[in-house]
Homo-oligomer: A and B are copies of this chain.
């Protein structure tokens, strides 16, 4: 790792890898995203029974693997198979079968293929190897998944992650990493109790949980320990936005006034809003007009192409170019 990081701006964050093209969170999806030019690769992090950190979106294994077929006796009374009830050697036997819920709209099953759930270590080594070989400095973007759940099972997931990252060379503010979490107390704890210097992103959604945090006063307090916000992209545009007439929301303006980075999620081809009914126009709005600082995207190649196009058409990067009043 080099001392100084100057990621491209706005940053393209590969959401669960290039998950619009390959099964989410497989190393194949991460290698593809790397080849497509993503600036950061995202990891969702959960712990196994024997304390190995793995890269998996849910605390349950059955949404993306054949665990129910391989270990039918291992479900809890609620019918779920939890990663924290399995050792890493067992999880290595699972095959990624695609997401039952059709989250990506494919509903595909990957049984004849051989995709695996990677450990965090494997993924960090892949990225490290690629950065050494290419001379690029693609960053990581781990999310601490359900820290209270892990604590209730005797695992301090946050501490485990921060320690593993430090061991892998991610220690300083300028190292190419953002740590993200939806848990407000846990984000603060990373800075205040664990003393980590890494850049932190507070994930939020439109629920009441974050109402106080997203006031002017709450955002001012957040800047004391976090560098930015990861909201749903809808939270950044006014409710009365329409196609060709999107306006920034109050939250957008307040976050900008507070000096927070904005990394909205998730740019994919499903559930597109009326004000931008195509992924491409949605990305152009957020990257070219709203000028957010990064986007979580299932299609990194599309986001890179649009970022590069808007970057060469008169916009300048960085906060200087930001406007917090009307546009579009």
A301 near B118 (CB under 8 angstroms)?
Answer: no
Cβ of A125 within 8 Å of any chain B Cβ, yes or no, is yes
Interface residues of A in 5-52 (CB under 8 A from B): 18, 20-22, 27-37
Minimum C-beta distance from A179 to chain B (A): 23
Q: How many identical subunits does the complex contain?
A: 2
Report how far A308 CA is from B129 CA in the complex, Å. Answer: 27
Contact check: which of B35, B114, B119, B121 meets A35 at CB < 8 Å?
B35
- Set B31, B36, B121, B133: member contacting A28, Cβ < 8 A: B31
Say yes or no for A134: interface residue by CB 8 A criterion: yes
The answer to whether A35 and B301 have CB atoms under 8 Å apart is yes
Q: A21 and B121 in contact (CB under 8 A), knowing A28-B27, A35-B32?
A: no
In the complex, A29 Cα to B33 Cα: how many Å? 12
Q: Is A113 an interface residue (CB 8 A)?
A: yes
Q: Are B126 and A113 interface neighbours, CB within 8 A?
A: yes
Given known A-B contacts A28-B27, A28-B31, A112 and B125 have beta carbons under 8 A apart: yes
Which of A32, A37, A134 has the most chain B CB within a 10 Å cutoff?
A: A32
Q: Which residues of B contact A113 (CB under 8 A)?
A: 122, 125-126, 129
Seen from chain A, the residues whose Cβ lies within 8 Å of a Cβ on chain B are 18, 20-22, 27-37, 92, 108, 112-114, 116, 118-119, 121-122, 125-126, 129-130, 133-134, 301
Q: A21-B134, A34-B35, A35-B35 are in contact. List 18 more A-B contacts (CB 8 A).
A: A20-B133, A22-B130, A22-B133, A27-B28, A28-B28, A29-B31, A31-B31, A31-B35, A32-B35, A108-B129, A112-B121, A112-B122, A112-B125, A113-B122, A113-B125, A113-B126, A113-B129, A114-B119
